[in-house]
Structure 1
Amino acid sequence: MLDISPMLLGSTLIVFLVLIAVLNSLLYKPLFSYMEKRDADIKKDLEQVGNNDAEIAAFHAKAEKIVSDAKLEAAALREKVIAEAKMAANSKIEAKRAEMAQEYTKFEDALSEERARLKSGLLAEVPAFQAAVSAKLSQI
């Protein structure tokens, strides 16, 4: 049957306890310290990511402000350029209107002179026309 040897049982127990102590000091403690260090690093990285999110949000807000300021400045500049262009166009239009009015006045003057010249020319030829009409009427 089975005999239990106390000497063998004691030596096995001592070897087992020594093995546990050696494994604890050489394997388990370094493994646990590594795992704790890794957990601490992960927590620190997560906190940094949270901080980075805040920084990123701040940078996005700053970028949006810069873009909106640039848009406002561009709109103001565009309005200024449009106003200047309208003023330049209006001044050109007014200059052209004045030039056209002057040319129209010259044309009216030339037309009235031509009318007066034609009228005087016709009045000068009225006696000839009367003589021709009288000759025609006398022939009838």
Structure 2
Amino acid sequence: MLYVGRVSPEKDIDIVLDTYYSLANHVKEDTHLVMVGDGPLYKTLYEQHQENITWTGFLEGEQLARVYASSDVFLFPSPTETLGNVVLEALASGLPVVGANEGGIKNLVANGKSGFLCEPGNRTHLLSKRLSY
């Protein structure tokens, strides 16, 4: 699982972490979360969440492309995106996107085809969609 973006409250990082932690034990054993980005919550979350989570900090260029290419699903619950460049990057890398049905993201993800759109802030909806892949 992959998240790329600013590590800040308005990005609903807590929902990304909740989604990861909610995986059934048999699925979680084979699942790894990669958190790419930096921001005001980075240090605190990095210190609190280590189990099968890789915190890379800010990446760009070839390093970032490798992370996209090595992932299976892109989680992006933020309802505040106006464009969503990271969503475009994920889609261009062939990753299905599970994201908020809000802002620019709803115009980028073909619901049920290139990913799933979820009600913003609705953890239960997002959690149910991540199992579809």
Give the TM-score normalised by structure 1: 0.13
More helix by share: 1
More strand by share: 2
Highest relative contact order (Cα 8 Å, sep 6+), 1 or 2?
2
Q: Which has the larger radius of gyration?
A: 1
Give the TM-score normalised by structure 2: 0.13
